[in-house]
Amino acid sequence: MEAALEGYLSFARVERRLSDNTVQAYQRDLAELQRFLAGRGIERPEAVRREDLSAYMAFLLDTGRGERTATRHRSAFRQLFRFLVREGRLEQDPSVLVQAPKHLSPLPQVLSRREVEALLAAPDRSSLIGHRDATMMQLLYSCGLRVSELVSLEARNLQLERGLLLVTGKGDKERLVPTGPLAAQALVGWMSGGRRELDPRQRSPWVFPSPRGGHISRKAFWVRIKRYATLCGIASERVSPHKLRHSFATHLLENGADLRAVQAMLGHADISTTQIYTHVARERLRRVHADSHPRGQ
């Protein structure tokens, strides 16, 4: 494989007269392919199959590389194998049927921990509505709830002595979610304080009742959280109840949480849905490294 790479790079430089930057980019990409194939026990170009190259494309995407990067790698190895066929080293080109990566949905947007802290501190807790909003945002971030699960949370499903909530999610499936000390403390304060003001006769089943009856609506809370984002200097389009859920999952994984545990807390039926947050965490770490490392400046 080493000789094949050297032969192609020499051809690219001399015969095709590609620029030094282009040749160096091909060299980096093909060196990574060589390492990947070596890990599969493949040392010679003749042993490479289409399935190996497809697996390499999947590897690139799974390790957080974007669609454009994966497409660039595909272009590099297709040029290599075409060259080897023209030179008579190979009878067939294994890269011919390797498809370009499908269009990927954008990764979920995540707030930084500093932005989350600023957002949670924004409500005026001395007011009834501010106390309610602060408690709701703390639950979203600490428990990773969907906003529909949050607004429909019933008082009978609080298990604060055990640090748990019984949540009804999609498809009416129930799951137990740990609250964490900060969310538990916020809930205890709300249930014994602000909620009693909203429902002095304790007739409402909801943790967050509306003054007009029923529970606070998703739309009303969505509007409130946008206002708090503006108050603390965060672009309102970057903040929503669901983005606090995204931030919950990503920050847990960044701190070493088990993927299966995060899946259970989020209520995902399929772990592949949860795995998107591993890509978010890797991309965030890559950006931090690129922005902070002295050789990246």
CB under 8 Å to 279, separation ≥6 — which residues? 64, 107
Instruction: Return the structure tokens found at 129.
Output: 């509505």
173 is catalytic: no
CB under 8 Å to 286, separation ≥6 — which residues? 64
Residue 193's alpha-carbon distances to 114, 164, 198, 247, in angstroms, are 28, 20, 9, 28
Asked if 151 and 218 touch (Cβ cutoff 8 Å), the reply is yes
260 is catalytic: no
282 is catalytic: no
Catalytic residue among 74, 132, 268, 284: 268
Asked if 138 and 183 touch (Cβ cutoff 8 Å), the reply is yes
CB under 8 Å to 256, separation ≥6 — which residues? none
Instruction: Return the structure tokens found at 83.
Output: 């060259």
Residue showing tokens 């080293």: 89
Amino acid at 287: R
| Three-state secondary structure call for residue 100 | coil
Catalytic residue among 245, 251, 279, 284: 245
Catalytic residue among 44, 86, 170, 289: 170
171 in the Ramachandran plot: left (φ > 0), alpha (ψ -120 to 50) or beta? left
Catalytic residue among 26, 65, 277, 284: 277
Amino acid at 1: M
CA pseudo-torsion sign 278, 280, 281, 287: positive
**pLDDT confidence of residue 288:** 55
Beta bridge partners of 167: 175
146 is catalytic: yes
Catalytic residue among 74, 132, 146, 246: 146
Each residue's pLDDT, cut to its tens digit, for the chain (297 residues) gives 889 999 999 999 998 888 888 889 899 999 999 999 999 899 999 999 989 998 898 888 878 787 888 889 999 999 999 999 999 999 999 998 888 776 555 677 889 999 999 999 999 999 999 999 999 999 999 999 999 999 999 999 999 999 999 999 887 889 999 998 999 999 999 999 999 998 888 889 999 998 888 899 999 999 999 999 999 999 988 899 999 999 999 999 988 999 999 999 999 988 878 888 887 777 766 665 555 555 544
| CA nearest to 139, candidates 129, 126, 149 | 149
CA distance 54 to 74: 9
Amino acid at 27: Q
